[in-house]
Amino acid sequence: MNPIVERNQWQQAYAAQLAEEKAMTRTTDALAAKRRRMPWLKVDREYRFAGPEGSVSLSDLFDGRRQLIVYHHMLRPNDTAPCPGCSMVGDQIPEISHLHARDTSFVMVARAPIAEILAYRTRMGWSFPFVQTADGFGDDFDVPKGAHGLNVFIRGDAIYRTWFTTARGMETLGAVWGLLDLTPMGRQEKWQDAPDWVSQGEPYRWWRLHDEYAPPRVASSAA
């Protein structure tokens, strides 16, 4: 266990921790400001995607808005073991009307056939757009076959790429990791610096599709 203290001691420790966290927030804000001022890369190639209603272009994915966020899911043709990490990201995508309010669209893409994509989206209970890409779109934007990533685009007189991330950069998309980081036990993965009493395992191994976790145990009622 961690040290057990009186209320005033806890408040002092909390105040010191909060000061560091607020400083980190300001650092994150400054980094985001730099991201908004990054140079843009013009998209010179035409890309096509397969959607529920047929073939669509990259411009179509903007759906009339100025900005577009594209998440590259690792779902592949005839995928019997969809990526749990990508799917955890999908579970945490917010109600996208909030993005629309800021002139921003969101779409997920994968290399699986559109019929398989739509079936998987139904299984997961997702409502955001999810389309098939097959013409080099991932490779051209740093997401080769078997990888995941996130690209951001803006549209004006042309379409421009503005930002990219992968790996732990994806944590900005989800609340699960942030919520666990607020707890004493954290993510319970070996790479994290945690108190000695916390049992930790290999990274990512606990991840499952949300319908594959063991059902919660129900306490039996007293006779």
Q: So what's the pLDDT on residue 173? A: 87
CA distance 165 to 169: 5
Closest CA to 75 of 146, 141, 167, 151: 146
Where b means 16+ CB within 10 Å and e means fewer, 173-192 reads bbeebeeeeeeeebbeeeee
Per-residue pLDDT of the chain (223 residues; tens, 9 = 90+): 999 999 999 999 999 999 999 999 999 999 999 999 999 999 999 999 999 999 999 999 999 999 999 999 999 999 999 999 999 999 999 999 999 999 999 999 999 999 999 999 999 999 999 999 988 999 999 999 999 999 999 999 999 999 999 999 988 888 999 999 999 999 999 999 999 999 999 998 999 999 999 876 665 554 4
pTM: 0.91
CA distance 118 to 112: 10
Packing angle, helices 84-91 and 114-124, rounded to 10: 60
CA distance 210 to 180: 16
Domains (ranges, CATH) in the chain?
41-165 (3.40.30.10), 175-203 (no CATH)
